[in-house]
Amino acid sequence: MDHFNYVDGLLHAEDVPLTVIAAQVGTPVYVYSAATLTRHFKLFQQALEWTDHLVCFAVKSNSNLAVLKLLGDLGAGMDIVSAGEYARARAAGVPGERIVFSGVGKTGAEMRMALDGGIRQFNVESEPELELLSQVASSLGVVAPIAVRVNPDVDAKTHEKIATGKAENKFGIPIARARDVYARAAALPGIEVVGIDMHIGSQLTDLEPYRLAYAKMADLTRALRADGHDIRRLDMGGGLGIPYRRDNNAPPLPIEYGQVIREAVGDLGCEIEIEPGRNISGNAGILLSSVIYLKEGEGRDFLILDAAMNDLIRPAMYAAHHDIVPVVEQAPGTPVAPHDVVGPVCETGDTFEKAVDLPRLSAGDLVALRSAGAYGAVMASEYNSRPLVPEVLVRGDHFAVIRARPTLEEMLGRDTIPEWL
């Protein structure tokens, strides 16, 4: 469910017509719904109400400060993977004790930053990282709480570029070596073992891979406790998918996901952490765009938008689908025809969708690319020297620009020509 619906013939974000936002902010522009973000976060809270838990929003999916503050004020923790994301979480008012530091390439400087500013735990992904964290924590005279990320070698049945739990993926420590690594962690100064971390991939639409992975996590918990480790926290990862196609069967609900967790590890008495990103922010956002041209091609028509692959890279990178709909509601029976919906960037890959059935649109007409609130603006670039796409947050009948579109002068001003040129 989201809060983007037609009212009086116009697509609205909550109570705001998208035509109003386009007129005041321009296009392309990301538009987020506060009501949808809130609802989706609360669904995960309800899914885990049977136990002590922390829902940590995956900042990588949408790192805008306003989005992070909204979720943080609701009680969300943050799952971060860089110093920049840590700084964003803190700037949004999230305390360090609600921030989990994941990622395969943490540097010593990032470790120091988190230890100085406060951190809930580090999800350690390798033995060299463990050794470095011990050195950094010891040099500061503090103790770093850790969970070791364990790779369970489970196929998440998702796109190969967002699968993270198979043996060939770069993430985590092989489960066969976990007990040895935990033994080393327990012996190191400046390290406190608090739990286990596991994350098998993104955009999962089947609960069975979770069941397989979490069964292995439960067995490992018992084995590590038998070895003398105080395993009191389980980070189950995230990755639950969303319905990108409205005509498809919906993925499992958060309540069903929570039940899988309960069945697998509910008897262990551990605090549960989860790291949803896409399932909270994905359907809470759209990319609003204007038609530049309708170009009649050889055997196909091209709808050329002012949004491009630099604004939303997912279709080019993953062959991902986003429903594309006119902002002006079409009357029943309106003729449609297949169009290739493309952007103006000089790449054939700058294609959002091929042969999508749309009514005949003209220059200036508005369209919305749905389910664009996750891995949209955060992955945008200035390729072709196109200014970064702005972002807008809607709540009820009002909205605010939460990241402005830079001017060409601001974009050029970030470059420096040395005096000797």
Residue 92's nearest CA partner among 106, 81, 77, 82 is 77
Is 211 marked as a binding-site residue?
A: no
Is 318 marked as a binding-site residue?
A: yes
Here the tokens at position 195 are 């739990």
Annotated active-site residue 270? The verdict is no
The span from the CA of 100 to the CA of 118, in Å, is 10
CB atoms within 10 A of CB 226: 9
Query: Coil, strand or helix: which one is 170?
Result: coil
The answer to whether the CB of 310 falls within 8 A of the CB of 384 is yes
The answer to whether the CB of 228 falls within 8 A of the CB of 234 is no
The span from the CA of 181 to the CA of 276, in Å, is 27
Q: What are phi and psi of 227, to 5 degrees?
A: -80, -5
Is 85 marked as a binding-site residue?
A: no
Helices (H), 177-301: 178-187, 208-226, 254-265, 278-281
Is 276 marked as a binding-site residue?
A: yes
Please compute, for residue 126, the number of CA atoms within 13 A of its CA located in the half-sphere on the CB side: 11
The span from the CA of 51 to the CA of 272, in Å, is 7
Q: Residue 405 CA to chain centroid, in angstroms?
A: 22
The span from the CA of 90 to the CA of 72, in Å, is 10
Is 278 marked as a binding-site residue?
A: yes
What residues pair up with 274 in beta bridges, in sequence order?
55
Residue type for position 15: D
The answer to whether the CB of 217 falls within 8 A of the CB of 196 is yes
Here the tokens at position 353 are 């969708």
The answer to whether the CB of 415 falls within 8 A of the CB of 349 is no
**Orientation angle between helical segments 208-226 and 178-187, nearest 10 degrees:** 50
Helices (H), 314-415: 314-318, 408-413
What residues pair up with 144 in beta bridges, in sequence order?
191
Catalytic: which of 187, 331, 346, 417?
A: 346
CB atoms within 10 A of CB 142: 14
The span from the CA of 167 to the CA of 164, in Å, is 9
Q: Which residues are annotated as a binding site?
A: 239, 275-278, 314, 318, 347, 375
Q: Which residues are annotated as a binding site for substrate?
A: 278, 314, 318, 347, 375
Give the catalytic positions in this structure. Answer: 346
Q: Which residues are annotated as a binding site for pyridoxal 5'-phosphate?
A: 239, 275-278, 375
